[in-house]
Amino acid sequence: MACGVRDSTGRTSQVSADHTAPGETGTMPRHPTVADHIVARLFSWGVHRYFGYPGDGINGLTSALQRTDERAQFVQVRHEETAGFAASAHVKYGGGPLGCALVTSGPGAIHLLNGLYDAKLDHQPVIALVGHTVVTAEGGGYYQEVDLLALYKDVAAAFLAQLDHPAQVRHLVDRACRTALARRTVTALILPADLQDKPAVPDPPHAHGYYQTSNVPSSTPTVPPEADLRRAAEVLRGGERVAMLVGQGALGAKDEVREVAQRLGAGVATALLGFTAVDHREPWVTGAIGLLGTRPSWQMMSRCDRLLIVGSNMPYSEFYPPPGQARGVQIDLDGTQLGLRYPTEVNLTGDAAPTLRALLRELGPGPGPTEWRTEITEATSTWRRVQRDLAEQDADPVNPQLLFSTLSERLPDNVMLAVDCGTATAWYARHVQVRPGMLASLSGTLLSMGGAMPYALSAKFAHPDRPLVALIGDGAMQMNGVNELITVAKYWRSWADPRFVVLVLNNRDLAFVSWEQRSSEGTPMFPDSQQLPDIGYHQWAQVLGLHGELVDSPDQVPGLWDRALAADRPTVINALVDPAELMLPPHFTAEQARNTAAAVLRGDTDWAGIIRRGLPATVASYRPRRRKG
């Protein structure tokens, strides 16, 4: 018996109650433990990979994983925070329906939280297994004793429980997995160390105070009622300037998004988590939206008279149409997320692909070529040309945008991209044209630095036969990237495709924060806070037996990606890039301009670079668009 569960990539993973679970068909020890039972039950829900770091609080569980004859895999990362990020990314990259992190008590449990919040805020189903003090010592101030139920009550608010008796295993695991899948969120089980080695109770008695539970996932709503679909179609059909915003909920609905856009003559903007829901080579795809988005996306939203939001909860309200300008329709699998960002008239609770197919039946024939589509196409074409020109401009020593624009042209069709938070996000959003067949993700809502390397590792374990490119700033690389390169060195020989390319934007500056400080506060870059040590990342890679490249001249860039994507082992690119490269938002306000100028006048240490790069970038980005006639 199997049930289809739609993951965040839009694919359906088959989770079967009849799985040959480790320990259920002869591989379990003759006298199975509670830990063996937990692993077996999780396997029946599709959990076969655990990201974590060992410790005495989970010795029972790691021993049980040893007894599965490698049918369940423990991936040892360098830090528990990585385990949380990797568990989230496991689902994002289609590794399975559920992500799982396994960590020890006390400090391990505390370290895990940041990665779990990434999963919670990006709505990824993840179960955390957390070791705990032995039951007999709880409440006595034991070593590493932390009140884990209090600590995890927010991140795992949907379901959090401590195992107190072996007979609880089945219903606690079932409820944790079912809740994580149904609500697309984080759940957690607190597992005291001594209970893990107790004899298992795989079949609780049919008696008062015990539960007989199911390990079959619940179905989810798919298509809204016809009356609501007709209302949505009526709203959208009446528009002359239709805009669409698609997010991660539209992943797996690429064909449907395209057909609806064509039928409505719409332009399509994308939230960063929904980048792979469309082909960015299409002339009507305006690209990213928000502070790091494109000018055509901002222009489209500022002029549209209808708005269709599909699977997105992008929070920057100033980048939506002004209230009252456009009539809105929204589609989301989670009804609680509807109508939160824009006063939509029709809210459709349903899965994106079948809901859009049903909506198409109500929409009728499209309008054909329109002036609105032509306007969007011209704006998008102009923007892309300007971005290419900006990437070609001289910088000191290397223009970071050049690295991204040249990468976009050379990406393999089946590449996986992992993007960190910072300037790398901006250049990715503006220069990398994601196309069908690619996978790409990032910490989309938590916006945490340090997510790209855990994401990259998890993606590679999910698809060891596909190439991967990680795009990381030097701040994030120093945060956890240099350590997780050790994990890459540990595992890369087991990957069918060894290509694992890490681009490090080495500008010796927490550049994104520096620009935020200038534009929002009007204060200069604070060297004590912002400047970073200059590290030879390529040399560290070579020490680990990986390939390393130093790029300190634009002349080196043309052949760089070809070499990296043809290497026989993981490659780290240490790119010395200009910290003064200006990140202009799609709508640069007068206040932001005044604040940036004030920072320069107040003695910003990089004032010369700001003037050198700021003037040509501003002129190029805001060059008025030619209008016919």
Half-sphere exposure of 1 (CA within 13 A, CB side): 8
Which of these, 385, 419, 421, lies nearest to 405 by C-alpha position?
A: 385
Q: How confident is the model at residue 291 (pLDDT cuts 50, 70, 90)?
A: confident
Region 141-152: mean pLDDT is: 94
Q: Indicate the average pLDDT of the chain.
A: 89
Contacts of residue 375, Cβ cutoff 8 Å, sequence gap at least 6: none
Query: What single letter denotes the amino acid at residue 346?
Result: V
Confidence check: pLDDT of 138 > 90: no
**Rounded Cα distance, 515 and 493, in Å:** 40
Give me the pLDDT at residue 5, please.
32
At 18 the pLDDT is: 34
Last residue of a domain, one of 347, 377, 407: 377
Task: Write down the pLDDT at residue 608.
Answer: 56
pLDDT band for position 599 (cuts 50, 70, 90): low
Tell me, yes or no, whether 209 lies in a domain: no
Residues 123 and 272 in one domain: no
**Distance of alpha carbon 459 from alpha carbon 441, whole angstroms:** 10
pTM: 0.91
Q: Is the peptide bond before 397 cis (omega within 30 degrees of 0)?
A: yes
Q: Can you give the pLDDT at residue 13?
A: 38
Q: Is residue 372 part of a domain?
A: yes
| Mean pLDDT across 421-437 | 95
Q: What integer is the mean pLDDT of 311-336?
A: 95
> Considering the domain boundaries, does residue 18 fall inside one?
no
Same domain, 518 and 607: yes
Residue 154 has pLDDT above 60, yes or no: yes
Asked if the model's pLDDT at residue 6 lies above 50, the reply is no
Whether 26 maps to a domain, the answer reads: no
Asked if the structure places residue 115 within a domain, the reply is: yes
The answer to whether the CB of 296 falls within 8 A of the CB of 270 is no
> How confident is the model at residue 524, as a pLDDT?
73
CATH number of the domain that residue 44 is part of: 3.40.50.970
296 in any annotated domain: yes
Residue 274 lies in a domain: yes
pLDDT at 627 over 50: no
Q: How far apart are CA 71 and CA 16, in angstroms?
A: 16
Same domain flag for 543 and 574? yes
Which of residues 352, 377, 402 is at a domain's end?
Answer: 377
Rounded to an integer, the average pLDDT of 135-162 is: 94
- Are residues 368 and 407 both part of a single domain? no
Q: What is the CATH number of the domain that holds 338?
A: 3.40.50.1220
pLDDT at residue 369, as a whole number: 80
pLDDT at 595 over 70: no
pLDDT band at 588 (very low <50, low <70, confident <90, very high): low
**Lowest-pLDDT range, 261-275, 276-290, 607-621?**
607-621
Residues 439, 566, single domain; the answer is: yes
Domain that holds residue 590: 393-621
**Alpha carbon 523 to chain centroid, angstroms:** 32
Residues 112 and 246 in one domain: no
For residues 308-332, average pLDDT: 95
Number of H helices, E strands in the chain: 22, 20
Q: Are 508 and 485 in contact (CB under 8 A)?
A: no
Give CA–CA dist 211/374, Å, rounded: 62
Specify whether the CB–CB gap between 188 and 217 falls below 8 A.
no
∠179-454-183 over CA atoms, to 5°?
15
Residue 9 has pLDDT above 60, yes or no: no
CA distances in angstroms from 291 to 317, 321, 422, 470, 573, listed in the order given: 11, 15, 12, 22, 27
Judged against a pLDDT cut of 60, whether residue 619 lies above it is answered with no
Q: Which of 277, 560, 567 is nearest to 410 (CA)?
A: 560
Say if residue 177's pLDDT is above 70: yes
| In a shared domain, residues 555 and 608 | yes
Q: What is the pLDDT of residue 558?
A: 85
Select from 334, 353, 362, 340 the least CA-distant residue to 221. 334
> To the nearest whole percent, how much of the chain has pLDDT over 90?
78
Q: Are 340 and 313 in contact (CB under 8 A)?
A: yes
- The secondary structure element, H or E, covering residue 5 is strand 2-6
pLDDT of 8: 36
When divided into structural domains, the chain yields a total of 3
pLDDT band at 586 (very low <50, low <70, confident <90, very high): confident
Residues 190 and 324 occupy one common structural domain: no
| Chain center to CA of 233 | 31
- For the segment 396-401, the average pLDDT, to the nearest whole number, is 95
| E strand residue ranges, 457-506 | 468-473, 500-506
**Residue carrying the six token digits 């990381």:** 472
Q: Helix/strand/coil (H, E, C) string of 31-80?
A: CCEHHHHHHHHHHHCCCCEEEECCCHHHHHHHHHHHCCCCCCEEEECCCH
Q: Which residue has the higher pLDDT, 110 or 221?
A: 110
pLDDT band at 597 (very low <50, low <70, confident <90, very high): low
Q: Write out pLDDT tens, residues 499-544.
A: 999 999 999 988 777 767 666 667 777 788 889 999 999 999 999 9
Structural domain includes residue 240 = yes
> Is a pLDDT exceeding 60 seen at residue 264?
yes
Q: Residue 414: pLDDT band by 50, 70, 90 thresholds? A: very high
Q: 237 and 117: one domain?
A: no
Residues 415 and 521 in one domain: yes
Mean pLDDT for 298-311 is: 97
Burial of 305 (0-12, 13-18, 19+ CB in 10 A): middle
- Asked whether residue 342 falls in the same domain as residue 422, the answer is no
Among 177, 197, 217, the domain boundary falls at: 197
Task: Looking at mean pLDDT, say which of 52-66, 519-533, 612-626 comes out highest.
Answer: 52-66
- pLDDT value at residue 222: 85
597 and 478 in a common domain: yes
- The pLDDT > 70 percentage for the chain reads 87
Rounded mean pLDDT of 62-74?
Answer: 94
Instruction: Write the DSSP assignment of 96-150 as a string of letters.
Output: -S-EEEEE-STHHHHHHHHHHHHHHHTT--EEEEEEE--GGGTTS--TT---HHH
pLDDT tens digit sequence for 88-135: 999 999 999 999 999 999 999 999 999 999 999 999 999 999 999 999
